[in-house]
Amino acid sequence: MATSELIEALQALAHERKIDEFYLIERLEASLARSYQHILDLEWDARVTIDRQTGKIYVYELVPVGEPDEETGEYAEFEERDVTPDDVSRIAAQNAKSVIASIVREAGRQSIYEEFAGRVGDLVTGTVLQGTPDFTIIKIREGVEAELPHYDLKRSPNERNERPSGEHYRHNQRLKVLIVDVRDPNSDAPKIRGEQARPAIVVSRTHPDLIRRLFEIEVPEIYDGLVEIKSIAREPGARSKVAVMSRESNLDPVGACVGPKGSRVRMVVEELRNERVDVIQWDEDPAVYVANALSPARVNRVLVDEENHYATVVVPDDQLSLAIGKEGQNARLAARLTGWHIDIKSASFTAEPLAPMENMLIDEEDVDDEDTCMYVSEDGVRCRNHARPDSQFCGIHASLDED
């Protein structure tokens, strides 16, 4: 390769990859200096310069001058001795391909990092390029790819799994994904396996903020700030709960998110591959909030222990399984959504301590049940047994009728 051809190739690569031409040449000079030091078997370090106009290459040996520093043993001044070989262009051409490929790859990763490091949390739309057992490569735009990892965490505990269970992707399929990480090529953090060959951008389909961004697209009131998403709890691929509140007193936040005939939430559900999404109303009263979070189950009352962040929920017998959900899913999501520990009990098997009205959400029909024993213990616990006919007490406490 002639020297002029070398500089032309560098300029073309710099333009194609959007890399600064002078930065690329400086990196090549530093790399060639190491190569020539080994090839020419130089006693001292080498320095290489490439003429920016002609592409001609010069090699110098840095011969120290004077005495070394007594403390560090390093020399302060050097004399450059020209050791440029006759076949310098041939040797450069032999090494240029791998060197330039490495430089372009590193510079490209740095450019991507600088562009996308500030976009963590953004929703982007990409196209599936290829898939492997461990991750899927998604094209965000021309020259920029992202990785959607779905490693087996038992086999690779240090990796990620950002794909909901049951989701599989086909070539050229369009996906909305959330940027969750951009790898810094200059970071001192331990490198992950095969990092240099993997895209710098990591995206997710499991992150709760994916739902937040999808609602911002579908619900103008959220985008404009009239409705706020207060909390999200998600089990990716199965079910999610979203708590919303309105900044306008006459605006129904749940209705705004659901949309006419469910049109808005349906678009979110379709993008999530039919993951169930429950939209509930946030409330500053923790008892009301916990009750709402257990939707669609109907709740009789909620007793809260604010000191321990503990909520005891009483539900009708026929609502117990619905409140708990399949394998405890509904109760588990409600606890994550509210941040409260939730204990769910059925009305017929629960004796609840009497509590101030402001700390309870009460079903009046449940309280005024004339068939329930009227006995209340010294600890304030109401008996939940049925009263005997023509009596206010159950068989255990029937003797109280005589008092």
- Residues 152 and 165: their CA atoms lie apart, in Å, by 11
Range of the domain at 373: 369-403
Kindly state the tokens that stand for 134. 């461990």
CATH code of residue 141: 2.40.50.140
pLDDT confidence tier of residue 321, bands split at 50, 70 and 90: very high
Last residue of a domain, one of 206, 240, 264: 206
In a domain, 243, yes or no: yes
Is 245's pLDDT higher than 90?
Answer: yes
Residues 6+ apart with CB under 8 A from 79: 62, 63, 64, 65
Q: 401 or 325, which is more confident? A: 325
- Return the minimum-mean-pLDDT range out of 30-39, 148-157, 266-275, 358-367: 358-367
Mean pLDDT value of segment 207-236: 95
Q: 87 or 29, which is more confident? A: 29
Is 352's pLDDT higher than 50?
Answer: no
* pLDDT score, position 398: 64
From the number of C-beta atoms within 10 Å of its C-beta (0-12, 13-18, 19+), residue 307 rates as exposed
Q: Are residues 270 and 356 in the same domain?
A: no
CATH code of residue 292: 3.30.300.20
Q: Are 282 and 267 in contact (CB under 8 A)?
A: no
In a domain, 238, yes or no: yes
CATH code of residue 64: 3.30.1480.10
In a domain, 334, yes or no: yes
Is 357's pLDDT higher than 50?
Answer: no
- Residues 260 and 39: their CA atoms lie apart, in Å, by 74
In a domain, 215, yes or no: no
Q: Are residues 146 and 201 in the same domain?
A: yes
- Residues 36 and 299: their CA atoms lie apart, in Å, by 79
Give the residue among 216, 211, 209, 282 at the shortest CA–CA distance from 243. Answer: 282
* pLDDT score, position 354: 39
Strand, helix or coil for residue 90:
helix
pTM of the model: 0.69
In a domain, 219, yes or no: no
Last residue of a domain, one of 111, 136, 171: 111
In a domain, 153, yes or no: yes
Is 361's pLDDT higher than 50?
Answer: no
Q: Are residues 262 and 299 in the same domain?
A: no
Is 340's pLDDT higher than 80?
Answer: yes
Mean pLDDT value of segment 278-293: 95
Q: 255 or 72, which is more confident? A: 255
Q: Are residues 129 and 53 in the same domain?
A: no
Number of domains in the chain: 5
Last residue of a domain, one of 88, 111, 134: 111
Q: Are residues 102 and 133 in the same domain?
A: no
Q: 353 or 94, which is more confident? A: 94
* pLDDT score, position 381: 58
- Residues 10 and 31: their CA atoms lie apart, in Å, by 14
Is 269's pLDDT higher than 90?
Answer: yes
Q: Tokens 């950002």 identify what position?
A: 162
Residues 6+ apart with CB under 8 A from 228: 222, 244, 245, 246, 247, 253
* pLDDT score, position 91: 66
- Return the minimum-mean-pLDDT range out of 53-57, 100-104, 297-301: 100-104
